[in-house]
Structure 1
C-alpha cells in the first residue's frame, strides 16, 4: 500500500500529539488507531501497527524518566508479570474477532474511556511504596489491564490511573512512571504476536513512532499541573467525539 507525503506527515504529527497525551494522561491510541484505519489499514492490521509506536514511545518515556531520576524498576517489574500474561491472551483474542466486531468494540471503548477521562480523581497522598503495598487484588487488576491492553490498548492509561490512584493512592507523577514502564514490558510480547501473524505495516508504524517518541520526550520534560492536565483531557475528548462520529457515519 503506497503512502502519500501528506499521510506520512499526518502520522508523524498525530503521533506527536498521541505520545504527549499518553505520557501525561491517557487516550493517545484513540487518535492513532482510527487514523491508521482512516488511511486504509484493516482494523486488525491497524491494531498491530499501532503497537510499534507504543513500544518505541514507551522506550523514550522510560529513558527520559530515568534520566530525570524517576524510576520504580523493581515494583514495576513485579506488576508487569501478570500484565504480560494478560496481554498475550488479549492479543490472541483480538485476532479471533471479525473486523465488524472489532470496530464496534473500538467505538464502545472510546465512548466509555471518554466519560472516564472526565470523572474526578480521588485525593491522593504522596508516599514511598514498597512490595508490601502490592496486594493480590492489584496483581489481578494488572492481569485484567494486560488483557485489555493486548486486545485493544485504546484508553488503557485510564485503567492504570483508576487502579493505581484508587488502589495505591499515589500521585499522578508516580502513576505515569509505573504506567509507561509496565506498558513497555507487556507490549513487547503482544507486538511479537501481531508481527508473527503479519498484522504490522512497519512503514506506518515507524512514522507514527517518530512523532510519538518526540511527544513522549517532551511530555516528560513538561511539569504538568492540574489545569494543564484538565485541558489535555478536554482536548482529547473533543477529538474522540469527532472520531466516533466519523466511524459511525462511515
Structure 2
C-alpha cells in the first residue's frame, strides 16, 4: 500500500500526535501510540521510523521546555548529561548503520521487566526527593553515554531507563525525573532524526502534522504531571513500561 496523505489521514495523524505527546511528556512511550498509526496508514517501516522521530522531537522539546519554564529542570545541572547523551546517541546511530540490533531484542524486555517489578514493589518509588547514591557528574556521564548509545542504536524503553535511573541513583522525585528525562530524550531524538533525514527517510508533511498535535499534547501532559506529581506519573509510567515490555516480548519471542 502506497502512502498518500488525505484529509482523513491528516486528521488521524494530528489526533494521534496529541495522544502520543500527552503520554510521552509524562512517562515516555509516545512511539507506542504514534508508530502503529504511521504504519497503519500505509507508510513503509523506514519512513515510519524517521517520521516518528520527527514528530516525537517536537513533543519532547515542547515538554522539556515546559518543565524548564516551571522550574523542574535546570539545564546547567544537566549539561554534562546532554553532552554525554549527544555523544552516545551519535555513536549508536553510526553503529546501527553497520550492524544489526538483534542481540538487544532479547535483553531489553528482561531489563524493562526488572524496572516494572521494582516499581510495583516500591510503593513510595519517586514520591519524594531523596539523597543521591551517585555523584551527579558520574551518573550523567555513564548513563548519558550508555542510554544515549542505546537510543541511537535501538531505542525502545529509553525514557523508562532514564526515569528509573534518576529516581534510584540521583534521588529525584518522579516529577523531576520526568522533566530531566524529556531533556535527554530530546537530545538523542535529534541525533537519530538527523540520521533519518540524511538517509531521506522522513515524510515531512505527515511528520509536521503530527508534530503540531505533539506540541499540544506534550504541553498539556507535562503541565498535568507538574501539577499532580507522582500520583499521575507513576500509574502512566507503569502502564508504558508494561506495554513496551509486552511489545518487545511479542516481537522477540512470539
TM range (shorter): 0.7 to 0.9
Tell me, which stretches of 5 or more residues in structure 2 are unaligned?
Answer: none
The one of 124, 129, 136 equivalent to 1:126 is: 129
- RMSD of equivalent CA atoms: 3.4
For 1:30, the equivalent position in structure 2 comes to 32
SS in 2 for 1:55: helix
Q: CA deviation at 1:39?
A: 2.5
- Correspondent of 1:232 among 232, 236, 239: 236
Alpha-carbon distance in 2 for matches of 1:185, 1:142? 10
Q: Is the 8 A contact 1:51 1:191 kept in 2?
A: yes
Equivalent residues in 2 for 1:164-179, closer than 5 Å: 164-179=166-181
Q: 2:155 aligns with which of 141, 153, 156?
A: 153
Q: CA deviation at 1:145?
A: 0.8
- The structural deviation recorded for 1:216 is 0.7
Deviation at 1:138, TM superposition (A): 4.1
TM-score, structure 1 as length reference: 0.80
Q: What is the rounded CA distance, in whole Å, between the counterparts of 1:233 and 1:185 in structure 2?
A: 21
Q: Using the alignment, how far apart are the partners of 1:79 and 1:245 within structure 2?
A: 30
Distance 2:26 2:233 in 1: 7
Query: Is the contact between residue 80 and residue 140 of structure 2 (CA under 8 Å) also seen in structure 1?
Result: no
Structure 1 residues 2 and 231: CA distance shift in structure 2, 3 A: same
Please say which of residues 178-187 and 219-228 is displaced more in the overlay.
Answer: 219-228
Q: Distance in 2 between matches of 1:191 and 1:235?
A: 26
Aligned length: 244
Task: Compare 148-157 and 209-218 and name the one that shifted more.
Answer: 148-157
- Write out aligned runs for 1:75-224 (5 A): 75-96=77-98, 113=112, 116-117=115-116, 119-120=118-119, 121=122, 122=125, 125-126=128-129, 133-222=135-224, 223-224=227-228
TM-score, normalised on structure 2?
0.79
Cα distance in structure 2, aligned partners of 1:238 and 1:168: 24
Contact 1:44 1:95 in 2 (8 A): no
- Tell me how far 1:184 sits from its aligned partner: 2.0
Q: Residue 110 and residue 49 in structure 1: after superposition, are their counterparts in 2 closer, same or farther (change >3 A)?
A: farther
Q: Is the Cα–Cα contact under 8 Å of residues 34 and 52 in structure 2 kept in the other structure? A: yes
Long gaps (5+) in structure 1: none
Match of 1:46 among 45, 48, 68: 48
